[in-house]
Structure 1
């Protein structure tokens, strides 16, 4: 039995040794992956994510007259879901009425006061003028009595006649003065009534305007379209609970889907490469198979710090050449901007390039072994770099450092120090 076990054990051991040798050889091969220098058109690309948006859109806004009535901020209490299609005049959003209801109540109190003042002024004026008219009637009656008394006293002593005459003249003077006072009191009454009436009308007008403004707190669509929430400068979209000010009154927008843009942000390192007019290839996360084209139409001159970004970024707008009714504002875009194209140049992958003491070199695989060859490099993109000198087409270079090659001397280019 033992005789049969010995060959089995030897066979198993040989199998395990073979496996170890195979995997070790594979690992060694993996360490020494090579590629060839090739000639092709070089494209310097800047890739970024962005957001699809309409080039033109109409804003749906809160009433700007709020500020005239002392309302400087208002909350959105309700808004239709984003993407809802609406016709002209359809409901879009409602604003919180707490502030305007308070102001209407205050005006109602002022209106009651103005109405009471108007009524009181009217009654006081009527009463004053009535008293003056009664006083005039009384004086006229007393003058008549004195005239009768004077006629009946023609046989009385001169002193008695003179006294009656003087009394009549005094009554005439009082009557004249009372009539003048009546005119003055009437003018005063008219002025007070006008003032009270103006205050009353002012309160009525204010109430009417506030009530009209309150009706505008139900926001409707100015035309047909799809509702897209307004995006603030911070990048946040306005929704139920957001606060809106009269100087930035938009609640939502109705985009024109016939012309679309992709808005993206490029970091401050790569923005120097971006120019208006550069061609762009775009993709949509929502439609992985769709490939769109476009051109850079606007590059911001001033950078900004956006939420989640560690460095300053610059806003870039890209006009999308294609349009489709299925494309929606807010969709995520991938933007590949062609910043430079050089035809028929020698290139190698960036992984093949090493640097030491300011000298760039590659590990060149030759017929006699591996060498460290200095290379002069040109423009680079995210994957490849142009080799201006030091290599030829189809030269084979390592993508990782070959074993034992690190200590070799770099073979300098002619004319290099």
Structure 2
């Protein structure tokens, strides 16, 4: 027979088991709540992280878009700079309006032709394309002779580079303002422009020329070098060579140029005259009087 005490013991055990079971249930309920809370917290964390990620992506997109706009603006500015440089290059490039020979102008401040490194000023002429179909020679005439030079007078032009070539031309213009030939001299000269007839490939701008203006044409004339005419006792004389010794001969003279003088009486073509005063010990040289049916002075 089962004892009460034993039953009571079993009851106690059963009660303890029941209490343990209740505690376990309560524990499970608590743990479920904790897990649920942890899950909710984790979910909230995930949501916050997700929102942050979205905002970061959005911010990055904005930043990238801003950087893209900055780069596009920089590209546009670079294109503008390039176009401006191209336009400036076009402005700095001089293009001839026709075929021809380029002639560098003279820089008046240096007295030489325009060259690399010169600093031009507004309106300054750098180069020119002369019309080679119409050439001119510019020369300076002494103030003593300028009154004899007139427009349309015939002129002879020789090139220093081609001394055997002679070109015919006419005086186009005569300067009206004299210029000092150089700083050490008070002699004034006037600019005379000569139009050269025709064309020739040897004629080039800038060439040095020797010009002779025909001021008058004298027929049946005897002329001698200026060096052969002397003043003696107030008379104009030449020393005519007779045999090997010269003797003074009074002559009458007429028109002259820078080299020769016309003898109107006292000499005949072919007469030989001295170029120096015989009183000088070194006088030996003589020259022959020349005659010409069309002498030009």
Q: Is TM more than 0.5 here?
A: yes
Paired positions, count: 196
Distance change (3 Å), C-alpha of 1:308 and 1:330: farther
Question: C-alpha separation between the residues in 2 aligned to 1:282 and 1:404?
Answer: 37
What's 2:253 paired with? 377
Selected match of 1:258 from 99, 109, 133: 133
What's 2:215 paired with? 339
What's 1:275 paired with? 150
Partner deviation per Cα, 1:121-142 (whole Å, 9 max, x = no partner): xxxxxxxxxxxxxxxxxxxxxx
Asked if 1:228 is matched to 2:103, the reply is yes
Distance change (3 Å), C-alpha of 1:326 and 1:387: closer
Question: C-alpha separation between the residues in 2 aligned to 1:307 and 1:219?
Answer: 38
What does 1:4-403 correspond to in 2, within 5 Å? 214-223=88-97, 224-232=99-107, 236-246=112-122, 248-305=123-180, 310=185, 311-365=187-241, 371-393=247-269, 395-402=271-278
Q: Secondary structure at the match of 2:147?
A: helix
Deviation at 1:334, TM superposition (A): 1.8
Question: C-alpha separation between the residues in 1 aligned to 2:262 and 2:96?
Answer: 56
Greater relative contact order structure (CA < 8 Å, 6+ sep):
1
Question: C-alpha separation between the residues in 2 aligned to 1:275 and 1:236?
Answer: 31
Q: Secondary structure at the match of 2:219?
A: strand
Question: C-alpha separation between the residues in 1 aligned to 2:112 and 2:93?
Answer: 21
Q: Which runs of 5+ in 2 are unaligned?
A: 1-80, 282-297
Question: C-alpha separation between the residues in 2 aligned to 1:390 and 1:227?
Answer: 56
Q: Secondary structure at the match of 1:334?
A: strand
Aligned-pair RMSD on alpha carbons? 3.4
Q: Is the 8 A contact 2:246 2:273 kept in 1?
A: no
Question: C-alpha separation between the residues in 2 aligned to 1:307 and 1:282?
Answer: 24
- Normalising by structure 2, what TM-score? 0.55
Q: Which runs of 5+ in 1 are unaligned?
A: 1-206, 406-417
Question: C-alpha separation between the residues in 2 aligned to 1:375 and 1:403?
Answer: 19
Question: C-alpha separation between the residues in 2 aligned to 1:283 and 1:370?
Answer: 36
- Normalising by structure 1, what TM-score? 0.41
Question: C-alpha separation between the residues in 2 aligned to 1:370 and 1:291?
Answer: 37
Q: Which has the larger radius of gyration?
A: 2
Question: C-alpha separation between the residues in 2 aligned to 1:253 and 1:294?
Answer: 23
Question: C-alpha separation between the residues in 2 aligned to 1:252 and 1:300?
Answer: 24
Greater share of helix: 1
Distance change (3 Å), C-alpha of 1:334 and 1:349: closer
